[in-house]
A = this chain, B = another copy of it.
């Protein structure tokens, strides 16, 4: 038989979980309370179970940790270096997730001894998890430049200033306010509400929601920027 004699491997998923709040872009990390690498910092992961695919495994791990389902989840790639995990040969498929940091279940996070850390302050991570994070941020930057996926990191209603701060956090650079507004409004993916958010200023800032239909149209037409040959 064709498959006989072939080696089998443990298959894991690891999740690079991005969040965003007033302090900036953050990652959800674990302090491992088990061997190997107990006490070190890592991404949240888990093993693939028989009845699920890796995306389902990642979603399961994510829901277990944050209480959230239906989050933005995208596969990065597989990591398969022979000794990447010193405890056993494990092939890991990395996923990155964008979640609304306000909505997650704090109790679940604490139960796992997980914590949010600013992107600028990421500690040393075990195995190849740093490499996964670097790939994830690169992917997020590329993706956010062509599609407005950043909305997944914000509450349902948000101000343009919040959205701009998010983009500034993702790209780690300042953006001109006028140009940013011009550009993002020209895409038509935002609905302006009559409601204002008065938390951050006396004058108040208009709230916006995300327009999913416009997003789909944008996606079909190839994104914010067409492919220039």
Task: Name A residues whose Cβ lies closer than 8 Å to a Cβ of B.
Answer: 2-3, 6-11, 34-36, 47-55, 75-78, 80-82, 87-91, 93, 141-142, 145, 167, 171, 173, 175, 180, 225, 227-229
Q: Do A229 and B91 contact each other (CB < 8 Å), given the known contacts A47-B6, A80-B54?
A: no
Kindly state the separation between the CA atoms of A2 and B228 in the bound complex, as whole angstroms: 49
Contact A80 B51, beta carbon cutoff 8 Å: no
The one of B9, B55, B227 in contact with A142, judged by C-beta atoms closer than 8 angstroms, is B227
A2-B34 in contact (CB<8A): yes
Stoichiometry, copies per complex: 2
Output the nearest chain B residue to A170 by Cβ-Cβ distance.
B229
Top 6 nearest A-B pairs (CB, nearest first) are A8-B8, A54-B80, A53-B80, A78-B78, A6-B47, A3-B88
CA distance A114 to B134 in the complex (A): 38
In the complex, which residues of chain B have a beta carbon less than 8 angstroms from the beta carbon of A82?
Answer: 50-53
By the criterion CB–CB under 8 Å, are B9 and A171 in contact?
Answer: no
Question: Smallest Cβ distance from A150 to chain B, in angstroms?
Answer: 11
Q: Is the CB of B51 within 8 A of A91?
A: no
The CA-CA distance from A76 to B76 in the complex, in Å, is 9
* Cα of A171 to Cα of B222 in the assembled complex, Å: 13
- Which residues from B are CB-within-8-Å of A2? 34-36, 87
A54 touches B35 (CB 8 A): no
Alpha-carbon separation in the docked complex, A81 to B171 (Å): 34
Show 18 A/B contacts (Cβ-Cβ < 8 Å), sorted by A: A2-B36, A6-B47, A7-B10, A7-B47, A7-B48, A8-B8, A9-B11, A48-B91, A50-B82, A52-B82, A91-B91, A91-B93, A141-B227, A142-B227, A145-B229, A171-B227, A173-B229, A175-B229
Structural contact, A50 and B91, CB atoms closer than 8 A:
no
CA distance A229 to B187 in the complex (A): 13
* A54 and B34 contacting across the interface, CB-CB below 8 Å: no
The smallest C-beta distance from A128 to any residue of chain B, in angstroms, reads 11
A78 CA to B92 CA in the complex, in Å? 10
Cβ A87 vs Cβ B3 within 8 A? yes
Determine how close the nearest CB of chain B comes to the CB of A115; give it in whole angstroms.
Answer: 21
Chain B nearest CB, measured from A183 CB (Å): 8
